[in-house]
């Protein structure tokens, strides 16, 4: 069987500044990120013939291709379910490049979530018919929906707020090393966490990702072409999407086992296609819109057994030098929440050896997309 294994590589990354409020439009930010990524790769915009994005992206490929001066485009793709699609953009372009449908692919994300409207403020427009089963009862925001899973998880497995704090702290500590992070100069303490205001109890302020304006992009080419680019290629070793049986989106309460989310489905395929296993992952960039998604994802991607994800976070396991250094630029919790795309670019930096919180000799990295919704994941290796 043909596989994607190491046939394509990420050769360029780019981003804008991250801030609560940036003056430029989403389209302008997208163009800046894409041109920066192409410059990083040393590839001219006219060579771009593939684009991939994911839903809730308001800059479309037509506008972007025209603005940055792309050539004739022969592949474009848009993956569903918001943050669940981040890694799939790279996967789709890797497949397109590996099968000759495109030669230079660009994936991007541009968001003005910091200064723009929050999606949940217009629940009827943003969240159609399935919301008839949740919205009238005041389950309004993703934090409420994930909070419901978090309390059940705490009940079933003895997870505590200290476990969620371990996640928030690891991300904050890495952001404190990253001058580009929104929380660079804002250390977090256990007291701050434990006394913070509730958002949706059992989730407090620091269990929630940031609201950010910013854009990112990366460039994907074949492994052969990658050898001639400016930086050490970061190979797409394995990729998967995951939509489990009887899944229902963020409120996954009515399948047989709501605590095994899309990560489990994506993980099975991800590892089946890989030459290595979870024990060989040197650094992880795991989608952290909310802290409880980390223990759930650690279980789903096989770093520990069912119900062991909370305990896994103990003893500095997620810190640099720990068992699985996590979200080394600060993640969505403390670098920027740009629907997970910053996790992809940080995975690339780790495997280039250029992270601000570099894991010594990191050669393998797991990157995941939004858990709780139909998701996607990548195994990267240098």
Partner 1 sequence: MLRPVIDDDGAPFWKYAASGELRVQTCAAPACGEPRFPPRPCCPHCGSFDSEWRPTSGRGRIWSFVLPHPPLLPGYAEQAPYNAVVVELLDAPRIRLVGNVVTAPDAPLNSVDPARLRIGAGVRVVFTRDGLPRWRLERA
Q: Which residues contact partner 1 (rule: CB under 8 A)?
A: 120-121, 123-124, 128-141, 143-144, 147-149, 151-152, 155, 197-203, 246, 248, 251, 253-254, 256, 258
Q: Which is nearer to partner 1, 258 or 322 (CB)?
A: 258
Q: Which is nearer to partner 1, 100 or 130 (CB)?
A: 130
Provide the minimum distance between the beta carbon of 73 and partner 1 in the complex, in angstroms, as a whole number: 36
Q: Which is nearer to partner 1, 138 or 179 (CB)?
A: 138
Across-strand partners of 106? 51, 219
Q: Is 192 helix (H, G, I), strand (E, B) or coil?
A: helix
Q: For residue 106, what are its two tokens?
A: 């660009």
Across-strand partners of 218? 13, 107
Q: Which is nearer to partner 1, 103 or 252 (CB)?
A: 252
Whether 81 is a known active-site residue: answer no
Query: What distance lies between CA 239 and its chain's CA centroid?
Result: 13
Provide the minimum distance between the beta carbon of 257 and partner 1 in the complex, in angstroms, as a whole number: 10
Residue 28 CA to residue 184 CA, distance in Å, equals: 25
Residue 340 CA to residue 337 CA, distance in Å, equals: 7
Provide the minimum distance between the beta carbon of 333 and partner 1 in the complex, in angstroms, as a whole number: 19
Question: Longest Cα pair distance anywhere in the chain, in angstroms?
Answer: 57
In 3D space, the residue among 204, 168, 203 whose CA is nearest the CA of residue 333 turns out to be 168
DSSP 197: P
**Four-residue CA torsion sign, 352, 61, 7, 262:** positive
Cβ(68)–Cβ(48) below 8 Å: yes
Q: Is 132 helix (H, G, I), strand (E, B) or coil?
A: helix
Q: Which is nearer to partner 1, 2 or 124 (CB)?
A: 124
Q: Which is nearer to partner 1, 198 or 305 (CB)?
A: 198
Q: Virtual CA dihedral for 40, 46, 47, 51, nearest 10 degrees?
A: 80
Residue 161 CB partners (closer than 8 Å, separation 6+) = 193, 194, 202, 204
Whether 337 is a known active-site residue: answer yes
Q: Which residue in 153, 193, 287, 301 is the catalytic one?
A: 287
CA angle 318, 313, 193 (to 5 degrees): 90
Q: Is 259 helix (H, G, I), strand (E, B) or coil?
A: coil
In 3D space, the residue among 254, 219, 245, 251 whose CA is nearest the CA of residue 233 turns out to be 219
Provide the minimum distance between the beta carbon of 211 and partner 1 in the complex, in angstroms, as a whole number: 11
Provide the minimum distance between the beta carbon of 56 and partner 1 in the complex, in angstroms, as a whole number: 20
Provide the minimum distance between the beta carbon of 208 and partner 1 in the complex, in angstroms, as a whole number: 11
Q: Which is nearer to partner 1, 248 or 269 (CB)?
A: 248
Q: Which residue in 54, 157, 193, 337 is the catalytic one?
A: 337
Q: Which is nearer to partner 1, 32 or 141 (CB)?
A: 141
Provide the minimum distance between the beta carbon of 187 and partner 1 in the complex, in angstroms, as a whole number: 25
Cβ(233)–Cβ(9) below 8 Å: yes
Q: For residue 310, what are its two tokens?
A: 């909370």
Residue whose tokens read 């569903």: 80
**Does the bond joining 211 to the residue before it have cis omega, within 30 degrees of 0?**
no
Q: How many other β-carbons are positioned within 10 Å of the β-carbon of residue 120?
A: 15
Provide the minimum distance between the beta carbon of 93 and partner 1 in the complex, in angstroms, as a whole number: 33
Catalytic machinery residues: 287, 337
């Amino acid at each position: 069987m043909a596989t994607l294994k190491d046939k394509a590589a990420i050769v360029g990354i780019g981003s804008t500044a991250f801030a609560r409020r940036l003056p430029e439009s989403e389209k302008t930010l997208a163009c800046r990120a894409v041109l920066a990524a192409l410059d990083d790769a040393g590839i001219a915009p006219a060579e771009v013939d593939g684009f991939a994005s994911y839903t809730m992206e308001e800059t479309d490929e037509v506008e972007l291709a025209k603005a940055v001066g792309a050539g004739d485009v022969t592949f474009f793709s848009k993956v569903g379910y918001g943050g669940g699609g981040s890694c799939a953009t790279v996967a789709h372009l890797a497949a397109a490049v590996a099968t000759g449908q495109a030669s230079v692919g660009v994936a991007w994300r541009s968001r003005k979530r910091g200064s723009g409207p929050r999606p949940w403020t217009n629940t009827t427009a943003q969240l159609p018919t399935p919301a008839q089963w949740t919205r009238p009862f005041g389950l309004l925001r993703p934090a409420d929906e994930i909070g419901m899973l978090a309390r059940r998880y705490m009940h079933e497995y003895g997870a505590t707020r200290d476990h969620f704090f371990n996640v928030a702290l690891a991300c904050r500590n890495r952001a404190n090393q990253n001058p580009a992070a929104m929380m660079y100069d804002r250390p977090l303490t256990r007291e701050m966490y434990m006394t913070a205001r509730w958002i949706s109890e059992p989730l407090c302020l620091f269990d929630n990702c940031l609201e950010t304006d910013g854009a990112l992009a990366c460039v994907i080419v074949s492994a052969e072409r990658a050898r001639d680019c400016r930086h050490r290629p970061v190979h797409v070793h394995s990729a998967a999407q995951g939509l489990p049986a009887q899944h229902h989106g963020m409120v996954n309460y009515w399948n047989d086992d709501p605590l095994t989310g899309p990560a489990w489905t994506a993980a099975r395929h991800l590892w089946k296609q890989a030459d290595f296993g979870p024990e060989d992952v040197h650094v992880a960039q795991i989608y952290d819109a909310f802290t409880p998604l980390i223990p759930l994802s650690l279980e789903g991607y096989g770093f520990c057994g069912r119900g062991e994800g909370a305990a896994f976070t103990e003893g500095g396991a997620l810190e640099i030098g720990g068992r699985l250094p996590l979200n080394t630029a600060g993640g969505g919790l403390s670098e920027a929440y740009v629907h997970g795309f910053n996790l992809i670019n940080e995975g690339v930096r780790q495997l280039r050896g250029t992270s601000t919180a570099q894991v010594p000799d990191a050669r393998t990295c797991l990157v995941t997309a939004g858990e709780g919704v139909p998701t996607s994941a990548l195994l990267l290796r240098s």
